[in-house]
Amino acid sequence: MSKLSIRDLELKDKCVFMRVDFNVPLAPGGQEITSDKRIRASLPSIKYALDHGAGLILASHLGRPKGKPNAEMSLKPCAVKLAELLGRPVTMAPDCIGAAVVAMKPKSGEVLLLENLRFHAEEEKNDPEFSRQLASLCDVYVNDAFGSAHRAHASTVGMIAFVKQAAAGLLMDKELEYLGKATTNPDRPCVSILGGAKVSDKIEVIQNLAKVVDQLLIGGAMAYTFLRARGEATGKSLVEEDKLELAKQLMDQLGPKLMLPVDHVVSAEFKADAPHETVTTIPDGMMALDIGPKTIEAFSAVVAKAKTIIWNGPMGVFEMKPFDTGTVALAKAVAGSGAISIVGGGDSEKAIKSAGVADKISHVSTGGGASLEFLGGTVLPGVAALTNK
């Protein structure tokens, strides 16, 4: 899927509409940004456009204002933070469409941030007239919001019908490059590590990756649905009873590709520093909260030989010590493998940070739901809509 890139566009003296992901966490009251990670992730594309002589319109959603203005979900704090990061003024628009916004069209080198797209219900409805009004603001369109690419909204899909060229930004380019290669033509051996709570959240991912990977390592609570389906005791561990038959089918499909935990750190209580022990068979009244040392060793041995690693989801309740041991150990194994490593999902990202190895991971996806859908083989509407090369 080769899409037009911002690098392919003539930007000088053009007005560029760039869809970014400024859906940042805000402190209560909506005035203070508690993490500017998403704004920083957009800086390469923003700087590229400005360095090449564009006037830049930035657009994003923030939160779920339900189609009407909400002062606590205004993008004004993002304008302040972006100006600070860029070291140049960022003008804040009063809305995202209308005569007042049209009159604020930025000249070369200027930046205009539109107000929250979702203050209009037409954004999520992918309304054609709203799309047309957004498109009328610009000469060319760039989508750098991979995290919203799985949504067919006006700013990610609809307005592209009304522009001459629609290209991927640098962040979107990077996501498509890493995730695309990993799911179609990975360097081998290719290993995927999947964790988290539910098999049901990752059925499509498991089925799609089964066609690609050489080994699939499953940990976290979702492993216990598989183990129960295999007839093993799981105690009070989280199990999706309605997914046992599906788990059997997936195990038949995957065969020796699939690796499950062989030992477990268990406790009677779901709380930090609860009394715990390591077992190979989970007793009644106990729940598995992390993978055990034999599993860590087995998984790490597979990871050490990998050339491509795709990781989504923790190996246990890693927010609570001591049940973070397995996740942190795997993070260090991935970082030390020398493989092309792709990490997706907020929990996995927190894990590599807590393990102190974030700088040794090849690519940390900003996508969340979008990266999961991509790994599951879904064609993302916001990607499909971009102009082909």
Q: Is 255 a catalytic residue?
A: no
- Is residue 53 part of the annotated active site? The answer reads no
Catalytic residue among 198, 248, 332, 360: 198
Q: How much is the pLDDT for 203?
A: 83
Taking the C-alpha atoms of residue 112 and residue 64, their distance in angstroms, rounded to an integer, is 22
Domain annotation for the chain: domains and CATH numbers: 6-171 (3.40.50.1260), 186-375 (3.40.50.1260)
| Residue tagged active-site, from 3, 19, 38, 236 | 38
User: Mind listing the pLDDT tens digit of every residue in the chain (389 residues)?
Assistant: 589 999 999 999 999 999 999 999 999 887 899 999 899 999 999 999 999 999 999 999 999 999 999 999 999 999 999 999 999 999 999 999 999 999 999 999 999 999 999 999 999 999 999 999 999 999 999 999 998 999 999 999 999 999 999 999 999 999 999 988 888 889 999 999 999 888 888 888 888 888 889 999 999 999 999 999 999 999 999 999 999 999 999 999 999 999 999 999 999 999 988 999 999 999 999 999 999 999 999 999 999 999 999 998 899 998 888 999 999 999 999 999 999 999 987 777 888 888 889 889 999 887 777 888 888 888 899 999 999 98
CB count within 10 Å of CB 104 equals 16
Determine contact, residues 144/44, Cβ cutoff 8 Å: no
> Which residues pair with residue 58 across a beta bridge?
18, 113
Structure tokens at 129: 């007239």
Position 379 scores a pLDDT of: 86
Q: Which is nearest to 262 in space by CA: 236, 309, 304, 301?
A: 301
Q: Is 109 a catalytic residue?
A: no
**Separation CA 364–CA 338 (nearest Å):** 15
Q: What is the pTM of this model?
A: 0.86
* pLDDT (0 to 100) of residue 266: 96
Q: Establish whether 313 is a catalytic residue.
A: no
**CA torsion, ordered 104, 107, 110, 114, to nearest 10 deg:** 30
Strand-strand pairing, 258-259 and 276-279: unpaired
